[in-house]
A and B are shown apart, each in its own frame.
Chain A
C-alpha cells in the first residue's frame, strides 16, 4: 500500500518502495482551470525537496511545480504531452507527472497527510 502526502503548494506524492509518484492535487487543477501544457522534467534530472520540478500552463496562468521530495527523476508521464487535459480529468491518478527515486525517505516528515491537507484547504477558503 502506497503512502500519500501533500505539500502546501498543492502537489501530491505517493511513495511505494522508495519510488515517489508526483502530481498536482485536484484543488490545484481546479484553480488552474483547463490545463493546456505540462512541461515535463527530463528523466535523469536530480531535484531537491521543494525546488522546481517542472511547470504547468493553463490558458491564463503558468505555475511551477515543486518537487515534494529529493531524488532522481526515473520516469515521466508522456501521455500528458498530447493530452494535458488528463490533469483536469484525473489530477491525483492518471494525471501524475513524474516518478522520483527518493534520496532521503525521512523528508516525508515535512509533508502533510490527507487529513492535514484537507484541514489546510479549509483554512484557505
Chain B
C-alpha cells in the first residue's frame, strides 16, 4: 500500500477548522517563524478513512484472530469499557491541581482511589500509586522506591538479583536506577536455582525481582523461602505482575513475602493493547515503602471527599506528569467492577484450565522441556522440529497462514526455540481445539514438507521481510517530499 504521504495532492484541503472570530495577530519575529509548513499529507477525509481502514485490515488482532501471545495476556477487551472511558474524556488533569480544584474532580480522583484500594486487596499490598504508565515504568518506579528505602535506612546496596528466565525489562529497569545485575540460573525443575540463589545473595543486594508464575508458566513453591533469604539481607522482594492473571484470588504476592509489585492493567484487567500500548503499570507497596511513593498522592478525607497530597518530603518525586494513563485505568476499574470478586477468581481458574488443556493436547507433538502442571501459559520447544530443519519461527509463520497470531517465540531465552502459548480465559474450547489441530498439522508438516514451512507465510500482503536490510539501511522516516 502507498504511504499516506504518497497520496498527497498539493492544495487538497483537510478537515475544516473552527471559525477565526478574532483579528489576525501580527506575525512572529523572523527567527521564530517557521519558514515552510511541515510536510504533512494533503488528502481528503475519505482518503484518510480508506487508507487507515485498509491498513487496519493488514493486522491480526484479538477481535479478528486467536492471539495466544505468551506473556502478553491477549484476552478479549470488553466493548463497554471503551464507553466507560469515553465518559471521562473531557476532564483536564490540571483542574485537580488548581487551588480548590480537587472539588471539581471528585469523580476522577474517587475512581483512582478506589482502583488503588482494589489493587491493594488483590495483590495483598498496603498502598498503590497509579502513576506508572506501563509495566516497565512500574518496575522502574518500584526499584526507585526500593532505592529510596535503602537510602533512608543508610543501607549501601549495589545489586539487583534476577533469574535468567526474567523479562528483559527487569534487568533493564534495575540498571536505569543504577544497580548492577546478578543473574541466577534456572534449575532443572524450572524455577530459579535455590542453592545458587542462596550463594548469590549478599548484604549489597537491594532487591530480588521475580515473576511468579515465572516465564515458563510455573509457580515457584519456594517463593516464601526465597523471600526469607532476601529479607535476611534486607533485600526487598519485587513482584513482576506480568503473570498475575494466573493467580487472581489464589495467591496474593503481599501474603507470600513480596514488598513491591507492579500490575499490568492492559494484561490482567482486560484493557486493549493498542498495537503496542498504552499500558498502565500501577505499583503496590508494603507500609515500609509508603513514604516514598510518588506525588501527588490521592487521599480520602474524613468527609469522604478526595484530596491531593503534594507535600511528601520522602517521596521519590514524580514518574509522570499527572496521574498516570487515566483512560486505561477507567477501563480496568470498569472491568473489575463488572466481574467482581467471583468473576475475577474465575478468570484465573479458566486461564489456567485453558493453558493446561492446550499443553495436554500438544505435548505429544512438541518437546515440553518442563513437563509439569502449568499455570496460565505453557512453554514448548521446537526441538523435535529442529531435527527436520524447522525452527520455532517457521511454525509461527505457518500459523499465520492458517489465521492464527503466533505464540511468543524465542522467549524465554533459556528454552531452545521456545513456543510460549497463553490462551487466556476468554477463549472457548472450540477455538482452542481448532488451534490445537493446526499446531498438530504444523508438527506433521515439519516432518513431511519442511520447505513449505520455510516459505510461509504466503497468504499475507507481504512474505518474510528482510530484517537485515532494515537494520543496515535504517530507513525509518519517509524523506521524499
Contact = CB atoms under 8 A, between A and B. Distances in A.
Nearest to A82: B472
Contacts of B468: 33-34, 36, 59
A82 to B, nearest CB: 9
Nearest to B470: A59
A1 to B, nearest CB: 36
Contact of B467 (A37, A57, A59, A84): A59
Q: Which of A36, A37, A57, A84 gathers the greatest number of chain B CB atoms within 10 Å? A: A36
Contacts of A57: 471
B126 to A, nearest CB: 40
A19 B410 CA distance: 41
State which size class the interface on A falls in. under 10
A101 interface: no
Contacts of B410: 60
A85 B467 CA distance: 14
Main secondary structure of the interface of A (DSSP, over half): loop
Nearest to A37: B471
A43 to B, nearest CB: 24
Nearest to A88: B468
A29 B457 CA distance: 28
A36 B468 CA distance: 7
Contacts of B467: 59-60
Interface in A25-47: 33-34, 36-37
B413 to A, nearest CB: 10
Contacts of A60: 410, 467
Contacts, number: 15
B144 to A, nearest CB: 26
Nearest to B467: A59
Contacts of B472: 36, 84-85
A59 B393 CA distance: 14
Interface in B459-480: 467-468, 471-472
Nearest to A85: B472
B470 to A, nearest CB: 8
Interface in B126-182: none
Nearest to B468: A34
A26 to B, nearest CB: 18
Contacts of A36: 468, 471-472
A90 B468 CA distance: 17
Nearest to B472: A36
Nearest to A84: B472
Contacts of A34: 468, 471
Contacts of B471: 34, 36-37, 57, 59
A36 B469 CA distance: 8
A94 B467 CA distance: 24
A60 B468 CA distance: 10
A60 B471 CA distance: 10
Interface in B435-481: 467-468, 471-472
A123 B467 CA distance: 32
A10 to B, nearest CB: 19
Contacts of A59: 467-468, 471
A29 B339 CA distance: 53
B467 to A, nearest CB: 5
Contacts of A85: 472
A84 B472 CA distance: 8
Nearest to A59: B467
Interface string A81-109: 00011000000000000000000000000
Nearest to B393: A60
A37 B473 CA distance: 11
A33 B471 CA distance: 13
Interface string A59-95: 1100000000000000000000000110000000000
A122 B471 CA distance: 32
Interface in B371-418: 410
A80 to B, nearest CB: 12
A57 B472 CA distance: 11
A124 to B, nearest CB: 14
Contacts of A37: 471
A57 B468 CA distance: 11
Interface of A: 33-34, 36-37, 57, 59-60, 84-85
Please name the 8 residue pairs, one residue from A and one from B, whose CB atoms are nearest each other, closest first: A36-B471, A34-B468, A59-B467, A36-B472, A59-B471, A59-B468, A36-B468, A84-B472
11 contacts: A34-B468, A36-B468, A36-B471, A36-B472, A37-B471, A59-B467, A59-B468, A59-B471, A60-B410, A60-B467, A85-B472
Given A34-B468, A34-B471, 13 more contacts: A33-B468, A36-B468, A36-B471, A36-B472, A37-B471, A57-B471, A59-B467, A59-B468, A59-B471, A60-B410, A60-B467, A84-B472, A85-B472
